[in-house]
Amino acid sequence: MSSEVHKYKEESLNKNENLFNAKVINFPNDKNFDETQNLKTNTYSVWKISDESNDDQLKAVIGLCFMFGALIVIGLYSNFL
């Protein structure tokens, strides 16, 4: 066995030994989370694709529509030749 492989095995064993000797950190329980929260969502708002915050999504939808349209036109053209 080469010395590099032997050295790698020793380092790996040391890392595993350190991993198994690790202690679990006990986080403080200062925050009490109310499990009975009201988780209702705002269902009255409507998602608009033309909103300024959805500019990248608008470009993606337009690109997909253009691609499907182009494929349909090319398919129809090649079918009627």
Domain boundaries of the chain, sorted by first residue: 50-81
Q: What is the pLDDT of residue 70?
A: 98
Kindly report whether the global pTM for this prediction surpasses the value 0.75.
Answer: no
Residue 77 has pLDDT above 70, yes or no: yes
- Cβ–Cβ under 8 Å, residues 69 and 61: no
Mean predicted lDDT score pLDDT of the chain: 76
- Distance, in Å, from the CA atom of 12 to the CA atom of 65, rounded to the nearest integer, reads 53
Q: How confident is the model at residue 54 (pLDDT cuts 50, 70, 90)?
A: confident
* 43 pLDDT higher than 90: no
**What value does the mean pLDDT take over residues 29-51?**
66
